A and B are shown apart, each in its own frame.
Chain A
Amino acid sequence: MSSPPNIAVQFKRVTKAFGEKRVLNEVSFHVMQGDALCLLGRSGTGKSVTLKMIVALMRPDSGEVWVDQENVVGLGEGGLSLVRKKLGYLFQDAALFDSLTLYENLALPLSRLTRMSNGEIESKIRQVLAEVGLAADGAKYPSALSGGMRKRAGLARALVLEPKILLADEPSSGLDRITASEIDDLLLRRKQEHGTSLIVVTHDVHGARRVADRVAVLDKGQLVAFGSVEEVSQSTNDVARRLITE
């Protein structure tokens, strides 16, 4: 069993439970290369767990998770390292390293996972920081950044390795509409200019409508709707329809 080359991420009958609670129950879906998928659902329906399984921070109880033709479920550290280089992960609260400056936050993956010289690393960091509008803030510590700046900084760290697939966990949560829209713009630009596949967990339907090629709705451990925004808005599932239209 494998995954077709034009598929970036594929879940095959994935199940995950925490104690008695089954958060994902035989969930299957896929994201094509260069496409953007928005994962919607009420709180506690396994959206963030889904992202963590893609980057193998969590393992499913059963099923397969394919990332760029590799089943990450059975991979050892060496194989995982290669897969993770293809992934960028924007965490919900950015998860920047408190003890490092923004510049050092971005330099860490470059110095660890690439053979770039110090000059190349500096040039790359300048380019990515400029891309997210933080060119003048490299020397700041995360504690000195506002909520929106932290999100953009987290996005910069997720992008610094030029990932083929970008995972974003609630990129607009806690942000005002304008700042959230700026983050959506950055994601869209990345998708359009670099062909990066996006998987975005969000509660922001406005953002999902702008960014997504496909929408997946999770509810009570099941994938209850999957398709374009228009298709999901006409879904027979009440939760899916309400999430996308209200």
Chain B
Amino acid sequence: MRWLSRGLEFAGNVGVFGFRVLIDAVRPPFEFAQVSRQLVEIGNRSVALIVVSGFALGAVMTLHTRNTLVMFGAGAIIPAVQAVSFFVEIGPLVAGLLLAGRVGSGIGAVIANMRASEQIDAIESLSIDSFKFLVVPRVLACVIALPLLTLFMDFAGLLGGFLSEELASRIPLQLYLNRAFENLQWSNFIAPTLKTAVFGFIIGSISSYFGFTTDKGAKGVGEAATNSVVISSLLIILADVVLIKVIFFLFPDTAI
């Protein structure tokens, strides 16, 4: 029963932490410069990882599905399958998981290191609210960056799929795109992309929580980084299940 009580205590602490982020995000003074700095750190520096991963994943997915679909005479729907898969699920989920690794570990380690090296105490001693200064901008940057990076992932995946298909069937780009977007509706695209803002909130809040609350010095830095990745990834997958049900409820025609 000890693990249950520890689990509930953790859930409660994270809940309070996340709620404080929401409150402080709308309470002045606003840390625009810090948000902008974190957007560069979290967003800009993740673009290459996202684009390369999306491209490779798109190419591999087409290689896997092509033979089966052609066998059943459905080769023409390969672009549509690729687009729907990426825009509805693969893009948002894989982008979320990749960024939980790259960004989550970074946030957890950086803030934990600031705790261990008394930088957070130094901020507090200058009468600067360390939570608003360090945590809120990182969470906001994650919330803003995730949907944008998901778009990069989606289109890189589509491009990877096209190149793979082009090599196999010599399909022209225009025809590939027409087929890809023929049956895709805005609701298939917007809701799944925006749900990654929730993934961003999870990554930013969980990673900041582990970094901000560590009290184990240098050992805590490594632990914070690892826990940030593991718990963020787990919560993203769980949140995905819930959000898909919410999206189906709000936009019934998106259920494909």
List the interface of chain A (C-beta within 8 A of B): 52, 55, 57, 77, 80-81, 84-85, 87, 89, 91-93, 95-99, 108-109, 112-113, 157
> What distance in Å separates the Cβ of B88 from its nearest Cβ neighbour in chain A?
37
B126 & A113 in contact (Cβ 8 Å cutoff): yes
- Which residue of chain B has the shortest Cβ distance to A57 in the bound complex? B121
> B11: CB under 8 A from chain A?
no
B109 to chain A, nearest CB (A): 11
Are the C-beta atoms of B126 and A95 separated by less than 8 Å? no
Q: Determine which of A80, A81, A91, A99 lies in contact with B122 in the assembled complex, contact meaning CB atoms within 8 Å.
A: A91
| B-side contacts of A89, CB under 8 Å | 122, 125
Contact-residue size bin, chain B (C-beta under 8 Å from the other chain): 10 to 19
Q: Which of B100-117 contact A (CB under 8 A)?
A: 110, 113-114, 117
- Docked complex Cα distance between A55 and B117 (Å): 17
How many angstroms from the CA of A97 to the CA of B118 in the assembled complex? 10
Contact status of A87 and B125, CB under 8 A, knowing A97-B119, A98-B119: yes
A208 to B: closest C-beta gap in Å: 22
Residues in chain B near residue A109, CB distance under 8 A: 126, 128
Interchain CB contact under 8 A, A95 and B118 = yes
Q: How far is the CB of B121 from chain A (nearest CB, A)?
A: 5
Q: Which residues of B contact A84 (CB under 8 A)?
A: 125-127
A85 touches B117 (CB 8 A): no
How far in angstroms is the closest Cβ of chain A from B33?
A: 10
- 22 A-B residue pairs with Cβ-Cβ distance under 8 Å, sorted by A, are A57-B121, A81-B127, A84-B125, A84-B126, A87-B125, A89-B122, A89-B125, A91-B121, A92-B118, A93-B117, A96-B119, A96-B122, A97-B114, A97-B119, A98-B113, A99-B37, A99-B110, A108-B128, A109-B126, A112-B127, A113-B126, A113-B127
Which of B37, B117, B127, B128 touches A95 (beta carbons < 8 Å)?
Answer: B117
Q: Report A-chain residues with C-beta under 8 Å of the C-beta of B124.
A: 57
Contact status B126-A52, CB under 8 Å: no
- Complex Cα distance A85/B110, Å? 27
> Which residue of the partner chain B has the closest CB to A48?
B118
In the bound complex, residues from chain B placing their C-beta under 8 Å from that of A93 are 117-118
C-alpha spacing A98/B113, complex, angstroms: 10
Beyond A77-B127, A98-B113, A109-B126, 4 additional contacts (C-beta under 8 Å) are A57-B124, A84-B125, A96-B122, A97-B122
